Amino acid sequence: MGAIRPVRIEDSKELLGIYNYYVVNSIVTFDLEPLTLREFEEKVRTIITSYPFIVFEEEGIILGYAYASKWRKKPAYNFTVESTVYVRQDAHGKQIGSKLYAELLRLLKQGSCHVVIGGLTLPNEASVKLHEKFGFEKVAHFKAVGLKFGRWLDVGFWQLQLDKETV
């Protein structure tokens, strides 16, 4: 069945294992070298001071995680966040990404978030479908902006406006 709960710093090692798999084996992240536990713990600490960070756990094993983070530094962007979702490589097909995204968006709606941005390395059909399932719309496509595994890669941005009202 599984459950979603807030992240804890002590989850970092398990989360790092999920993330570093994608660093080494895929184009979905533009990190080129695996992160260290210390780097990942610092990342978690930084995010949880301002944004939701959740995990999906089943029988004591973390199968995925999701969080929001700062979109850009200038203060006018304070109501826009970037979303991130990772599912353990051997846990796909169980709707874990959808469950995490639904909860992350619920938490963001409770706060002061106005817009959520999903940045995706392309091609990535599964992630495109996930974002569009939740109402995200493609708003940008940058061609050949990242180089990984000897390939130039595109990046697309999907946007979801959580509320249609102005402040």
All domains of the chain in start order, with CATH: 3-161 (3.40.630.30)
Task: Give the mean model confidence (pLDDT) for residues 74-88.
Answer: 97
Q: What is the pLDDT of residues 100-125, one digit of tens each?
A: 999 999 999 998 899 999 999 999 99
Q: How many CB atoms lie within 10 A of CB 22?
A: 17
Q: What is the pLDDT of residues 23-32, one digit of tens each?
A: 999 999 999 9
% of the chain residues with pLDDT over 70: 98
The residues, any chain, with a CB within 8 Å of residue 150's CB and separated by 6 or more, are none
Residue 164 pLDDT > 80, yes or no?
no
Separation CA 156–CA 120 (nearest Å): 5
Predicted model pTM: 0.94
Q: What does the block give as tokens for 36?
A: 């260290």
Q: What is the pLDDT of residues 128-146, one digit of tens each?
A: 999 999 999 999 999 999 9
Residue 159 pLDDT > 50, yes or no?
yes
pLDDT band at 167 (very low <50, low <70, confident <90, very high): very low
Separation CA 135–CA 102 (nearest Å): 11
Predicted pLDDT of residue 1: 80
Q: In degrees rounded to 5, what are phi and psi of residue 126?
A: -65, -45
